[in-house]
Amino acid sequence: MTATLRLLGMGWWLQMKTRSRDPFDGILNIIYPLIFATTVFMMFREGGDESALITAAVGASVMGVWSAVATSAAGSLQNERRQGTLELLVAAPAPFPLLVVPMTLAMATLGLYSLVATLLWGRIVFQIPISIDQPLVFAAAAIVTAAGISLMGFLLAVTAVRYRAAWALGTALEFPIWIVCGFLIPVATLPEWVQPISWILPPTWGVAAIQDAAFGGTPWVNIAICLGLSAVYGVIGALLAGRLVNAARTHATLALT
């Protein structure tokens, strides 16, 4: 148990180190969501409804967490393959899923920077009166949401073990999740056939919990659903990882050559 936690912790920490050593990547991860947030804030300001603007500011802050994961998760194992470490990870006795989960956890953690940056941007530049009703609960809800997003990223990353073009899929999924998870657009206003998709995605519940925490609701049910769904994604990802690694052993796709 402690060895497993240590393995996760070390994987997470080293991934954070690796990722934060690419200054360009880091800057982009913060600036890119801010660009979209800026546009969104201007649109809501033009609309004139102050309370809608505040809700949007809180929702927009989560957009960057998903961007950080979506754009890097699918490519992460391709990177490992390219630098020749994917084989070493598979050849190690530690269960493969436990090596991939910390990678996407680290991406989501870096995404939390953008969450804070977006809130500050809204507060300072747009002077949106964001006040967090229950700061600790808000932080907890944000962390749970980030965890849920990282487990979605885990599923995405695992798919890429076998399919090399999957990295493009990650980028293509950036907008759809922004659209369906209720970051800015209330799920209830989406077409009816879309809503069930929203319900099975952890960030939908995570964002709802974050908004509850910010505006004085009770987020615990939403947090629990987000955690439960995340666990399901984790289990599916782990099962898929086992199958795909075996397929890769048959089809010899672990190495680049």
Residues contributing to the site for other proteins (CB under 8 A) = 2-3, 6-7, 10-11, 14, 17-18, 21-22, 24, 27-28, 31-32, 35-36, 38-40, 42-44, 46-49, 52, 56, 83-85, 87-94, 99, 165, 168-169, 171-172, 175-176, 178-179, 184-186, 189-190, 246, 249-252, 254
- In three-state secondary structure terms, 256 is coil
- In three-state secondary structure terms, 254 is coil
Minimum CB distance to other proteins smaller for 129 or for 186: 186
CB atoms within 10 A of CB 176: 13
Residue type, 119: L
Minimum CB distance to other proteins smaller for 24 or for 193: 24
Rounded least distance, CB 74 to other proteins, Å? 11
Minimum CB distance to other proteins smaller for 93 or for 196: 93
- How far apart, in whole angstroms, are the C-alpha atoms of residue 145 and residue 139? 10
Rounded least distance, CB 202 to other proteins, Å? 20
Closest CA to 73 of 104, 101, 106, 102: 104
Give Cβ neighbours of residue 246 (< 8 Å, ≥ 6 apart).
none
Q: What is the DSSP string of 115-146?
A: HHHHHHHHHHTS------SSHHHHHHHHHHHH
Minimum CB distance to other proteins smaller for 144 or for 184: 184
Rounded least distance, CB 222 to other proteins, Å? 20
Rounded least distance, CB 153 to other proteins, Å? 17
Rounded least distance, CB 68 to other proteins, Å? 14
